């Protein structure tokens, strides 16, 4: 009962860490400690000096990953993860981090060898990495083009090895006398790592070697260009979706049809703003509105300033005809802002009558609200006097 209680307390503590946003940092620390301990276990001198403490530390790390994996799987199941493939991959990584070591020990494998399976813990880095997820999407999107270049690579690889085997087998029987030997030469030549100790000596062999080297450079150049184009397209796609989501949240823009929103997304300018930078000053004339893609700003209104985070917007009154800024706005952390200029907005409004009507209605509503607010302030000040 006491052990179950401690396990429950550990699970509760791990869950609290994840809720506070420190779970990722704690996981990185445990991962680093576990990998260092696994490495130390392969050193006989360190193993004798530490006694059994290294294995105890490894078991603690394993217990943490067990609890963390269970909490992670439950959270994703409760949230209704949209992509079952990613959920299965995450569960597979958690199982690979927990099961191999106990299974190896149960099968009689020596502890230093069994704990080598803990090297699978490094896969935990892939679970929370948005960069790796983006790489995966790029490979999936460009799989046909990448596969085509791979086919070209294999064709050159096998044909060049067969031809080099014919050209050089009599001159260099040890290096090129067998097809696997010639195949090794083709691999190191195509990948531009060099010949090593094996170089063609015949004129035809050297001519073929030059062609293979050029083909290797061209093949990897194609791969690099495909991947770079894929990353650029993926970044544009992600920015477009993010911008679309930001624009669709603005009340007076919700009535726009998709073509109009698309036109607005292409007009937005992305700027990086440092921390504690004034974006809007009260009393100045405004000619744009801002969307917060990343970061946070503080709006100096009312008795207490208001903080806005990613997905929020401010300065929209400039698009409604009220160009005088009513409050100071400054960043509280490094932020990425999207700017929609008034001139671009009027261009879109001229082509979309529905937007013009929505803006006119919103401007009238804001004017009525401002008038009521001023009257209320006058009444309040009069009663106070």
Buried b (16+ CB within 10 A) or exposed e, 126-140: ebeeeeeeebeebee
Q: What was the pLDDT predicted at 27?
A: 80
Among 9-18, 153-162, 204-213, 318-327, which stretch is predicted with the lowest mean pLDDT? 9-18
Q: What was the pLDDT predicted at 223?
A: 92
The tens digit of pLDDT for each residue in 149-187 reads: 999 999 999 999 999 999 999 888 888 889 998 998 999
Residue 59 phi, psi dihedral angles, 5° rounding: -65, -35
Residue of 97, 50, 45 whose CA lies nearest to 69: 97
Please give the CATH superfamily to which domain 2-128 belongs: Voltage-gated potassium channels (1.20.120.540)
In this predicted model, which residue has the larger pLDDT, 379 or 97?
97
Contact 93, 126 (CB under 8 A): yes
Q: What was the pLDDT predicted at 322?
A: 63
Contact 118, 38 (CB under 8 A): yes
Q: What was the pLDDT predicted at 23?
A: 55
The length of the chain in residues reads 385
In this predicted model, which residue has the larger pLDDT, 192 or 202?
202
The pLDDT of residue 9 is above 50: no
Q: And the tokens for 113? A: 């060898």
Protein fold of 251-380 = Jelly Rolls (2.60.120)
Q: What was the pLDDT predicted at 45?
A: 83
The stretches of 99-129 forming alpha helices (DSSP H) are: 100-106, 111-114
| Model confidence band, residue 344 (pLDDT cutoffs 50, 70, 90) | confident
| Model confidence band, residue 97 (pLDDT cutoffs 50, 70, 90) | confident
The tens digit of pLDDT for each residue in 119-139 reads: 888 888 877 666 777 787 888
Pairing of strands 278-280, 306-308: unpaired
| Model confidence band, residue 19 (pLDDT cutoffs 50, 70, 90) | very low
The pLDDT of residue 224 is above 80: yes
Q: What was the pLDDT predicted at 3?
A: 42
Give the right CATH number for 143-235 from 3.50.50.60, 1.10.1060.10, 1.10.287.70, 3.20.20.300: 1.10.287.70
Among 211-215, 217-221, 266-270, which stretch is predicted with the lowest mean pLDDT? 266-270
Which residues lie closer than 8 Å to 20 by C-beta, 6 or more apart?
A: none
Residue of 165, 160, 164, 162 whose CA lies nearest to 190: 160
Global pTM? 0.60
Mean pLDDT throughout 48-75?
85
| HSE value, Cβ hemisphere, 13 Å, CA-based, for 74 | 9
Q: What was the pLDDT predicted at 28?
A: 84
Mean pLDDT throughout 291-314?
82
Q: What was the pLDDT predicted at 96?
A: 85
Taking the C-alpha atoms of residue 251 and residue 249, their distance in angstroms, rounded to an integer, is: 6
- 3-class secondary structure, 292: strand
> Strand runs (DSSP E) across 147-276, as ranges?
269-273
Query: Domain boundaries in the chain?
Result: 2-128, 143-235, 251-380
Q: What was the pLDDT predicted at 325?
A: 82
In the chain, pLDDT over 70 holds for what percent of residues?
Answer: 80
């Amino acid at each position: 009962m006491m052990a179950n209680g401690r396990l429950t307390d550990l699970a509760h503590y791990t869950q609290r860490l994840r809720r506070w946003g420190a779970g990722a940092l704690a996981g990185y620390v445990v991962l680093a400690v576990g990998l260092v301990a696994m490495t130390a276990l392969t050193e006989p001198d360190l193993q004798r000096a530490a006694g059994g403490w290294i294995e105890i530390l490894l078991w603690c790390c394993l217990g943490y990953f067990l609890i963390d994996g269970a909490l992670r799987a439950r959270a994703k199941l409760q949230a209704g993860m949209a992509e079952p493939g990613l959920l299965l991959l995450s569960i597979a990584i958690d199982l690979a981090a927990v099961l191999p070591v106990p299974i190896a020990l149960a099968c009689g494998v020596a502890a230093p060898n069994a704990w080598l399976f803990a090297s699978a813990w490094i896969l935990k880095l892939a679970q929370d990495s948005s960069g790796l997820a983006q790489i995966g999407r790029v490979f999936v999107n460009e799989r046909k083009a990448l596969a085509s270049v791979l086919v070209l690579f294999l064709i050159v690889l096998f044909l060049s090895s067969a031809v080099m085997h014919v050209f050089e087998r009599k001159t260099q029987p040890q290096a090129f006398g067998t097809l696997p030997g010639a195949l090794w030469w083709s691999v190191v030549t195509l990948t531009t790592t060099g010949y090593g100790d094996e170089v063609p000596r015949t004129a035809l062999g050297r001519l073929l070697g030059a062609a293979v080297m050029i083909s290797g450079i061209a093949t990897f150049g194609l791969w690099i260009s495909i991947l770079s184009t894929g990353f650029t397209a993926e970044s544009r796609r992600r920015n477009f979706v993010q911008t679309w989501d930001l624009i669709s949240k603005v009340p007076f823009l919700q009535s726009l049809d998709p073509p109009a929103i698309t036109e607005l997304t292409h007009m937005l300018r992305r700027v990086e703003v440092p921390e504690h930078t004034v974006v809007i000053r009260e009393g100045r004339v405004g000619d744009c509105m801002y969307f917060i893609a990343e970061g946070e700003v503080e709006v100096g209104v009312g008795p207490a300033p208001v903080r806005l985070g990613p997905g929020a917007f401010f300065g929209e009154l400039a698009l409604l005809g009220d160009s005088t800024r009513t409050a100071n706005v400054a960043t509280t952390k490094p932020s990425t802002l999207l700017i929609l200029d008034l001139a671009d907005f009027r261009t879109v409004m001229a082509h979309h009558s529905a937007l013009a009507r929505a803006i006119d209605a919103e401007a009238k509503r804001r004017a009525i609200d401002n008038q009521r607010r001023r009257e209320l302030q006058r009444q309040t000040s009069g009663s106070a006097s």
